[in-house]
Structure 1
Amino acid sequence: MGARAIWKAHICFGAVDVPVKLYSAVQDRSVHFRLLDAKRKEPVKQHMVDPDTGEVVDSASIRRAFPTDEGGLVILDAEELAEVVPTPSREIEITRFVPPKAITHQWYDRPYFLGPDEDDEGYFALARALAKRKMEGVARWTMRNKDYVGALRNEGDYLMLITLRHAGEVVPASALPAPSGRAMDAREIAMAKQLVSAMEDPFDIAAFHDEYRERVLELVQAKAAGKVVKFPRAAQKKTETSLADLLEKSLAPPKREKKRA
């Protein structure tokens, strides 16, 4: 089955207006379970419950509240929240173009593919221009009652739009505690460089699987066939107290097995 567009819009900047279709570039493959009653084996439902009485609170009696820094709660009505919802739009406005290095990885959130919508010539011309200039566009748009900021970039001959996290959501490296303890000596630094060089290898994303999901599916198939599967637990690795010992152990050549008489 081919990809299905989830939204339509126009990329706009200056006199440029390119109609596009938005496609999700990722899909959720995580494990999801249904909750069942242990005795009747029937699906159960979740309800909002009064913590004092234990009684179910119907949706009509529920209100939204936002916590304040002082520990209080500000109650907001549905009509009040509707007034702050952004105005619907079909424009992906490019505000500026920046080098790819200007946007570091921690700012990227969710990727989408943009496909052409009728105007193939303008679409592929924009993708080629971004690739040739090696630039990314900083975009703003409103989709499904929410404002977004993102990076417009080329992905081969196509366009990709990646939502970005907002200011205040990204923790800078400077917020981490400063390194403590002794400084590494020249021997340790040299061995660390040697170890990194020895482990250089091409990256193949196809080699990485969701092993937990695969084990769950194997367990489900086995139980459906009347079997039970037990998976061995991974052995815990012993921690090394010295970085030099750890590096030296990693760089040591493998021991050859003695030939049997």
Structure 2
Amino acid sequence: MARPLWSGSVSFGLINVPVQLVGAVRDLDVHFRQLHEKDGAPIETRRFCAEEDREVGYDEIAHGYETDDGTMIVLTDEELEAAAPRRSRTIDIDAFVDAGEIDPLLLDHPYILLPAGETDGVRRAYRLLAEVIEASGRVALGRIVLRAKEQLVTVGARDGLLALTTMRFHDELRPAADVDTGGARRPSAAKLKAAVQAIEAMAADWDPGDYEDRHRVRLQAAVEGSDRVEQVDDEDAADGGGRAPKSTASPDIMKSLKASLEKARAS
């Protein structure tokens, strides 16, 4: 089991459940180190003062905020500390909401909450909270101070465990009105019907095991000197994965929709 990132308790009403926070995802990316191509020596990152052209230590580093007009406002450690959230070891639940009401774009990073302690009382309280949340079909909304930052979170149930997901605040999402769509007209009813048919023909049951990270497979194959990378490239070529379609000045949407529908039905 991963090392706990945080320990505290989930609290709502008169119920207080001691928990530990662990990561819910694994980092399976292929990581590389930067090397000097000439001799293979590792590359180091150092901090230099642009004015004095010398390396500076962490104790000499201040924090500056640049305004729109280019003015640099320097904040002291005391000012930053005063703005920091109050340190807390409690996830205070504010409300229970329908999970379907939460915009998926607001969800950020998933974690697992585990019972903190081996006593029967702690485990019973944890099991009660997990089963109540799962039975309600809702998720709890609360806040947690994690890595010196207060974050909004949801607490739900997954496979008998409590699952916590950090969230973005609503004003962090870019409004749809700010996105330029080019002023395109609404599609005709015939085009909408053809598009819906194409989507329905491609409908399938979701199975995450059907998908793999092809880029990671190719990198691993390259590191291992395997010919597996060629096999994955062949799969990409077969289904067009990773290759952008050629653009045309005036694409025939109906023709493309019909071709997509015929391909979906054939497969």
TM range (shorter): 0.7 to 0.9
The secondary structure found in structure 1 opposite 2:209 is helix
> CA shift at 1:178, angstroms?
5.2
Aligned length: 250
The CA distance in 2 between the partners of 1:120 and 1:161, in whole Å, is: 18
- Map of 1:83 onto structure 2: 82
- The answer on 1:150 being equivalent to 2:158 is no
Choose from 197, 200, 205 the match for 2:200: 197
- Map of 1:162 onto structure 2: 165
> CA shift at 1:60, angstroms?
4.0
- The answer on 1:172 being equivalent to 2:175 is yes
Q: Describe how 1:68-217 pairs up with structure 2 within 5 A.
A: 68-118=67-117, 119-177=122-180, 180-217=183-220
Aligned partners of 1:9 and 1:90 also within 8 Å? yes
Higher helix share: 2
Q: TM-score normalized by structure 2?
A: 0.83
Choose from 221, 237, 247 the match for 2:245: 237
Show CA shifts across 1:74-125 (max 9, x none): 1122233233322322101001111112211011011111112231111111
- Map of 2:43 onto structure 1: 44
Gaps of 5+ in 2: none
1:150 aligned partner, one-letter code:
V
Gaps of 5+ in 1: 257-261
The CA distance in 2 between the partners of 1:235 and 1:28, in whole Å, is: 26
Q: Specify the structure having the higher radius of gyration (Cα).
A: 1
Aligned partners of 1:88 and 1:144 also within 8 Å? no
The CA distance in 1 between the partners of 2:22 and 2:148, in whole Å, is: 18
- Map of 2:21 onto structure 1: 22
The CA distance in 2 between the partners of 1:71 and 1:168, in whole Å, is: 25
CA distance 1:204–1:15, shift in 2 (3 Å): same
> CA shift at 1:128, angstroms?
1.4
2:178 aligned partner, one-letter code:
A
**Stretch of structure 1 that moved more, 177-186 or 190-199:** 177-186
1:157 aligned partner, one-letter code:
G
Identity of aligned residues (%): 28
- Cα RMSD of the aligned pairs, angstroms, is 2.7
1:205 aligned partner, one-letter code:
P
Q: TM-score normalized by structure 1?
A: 0.85
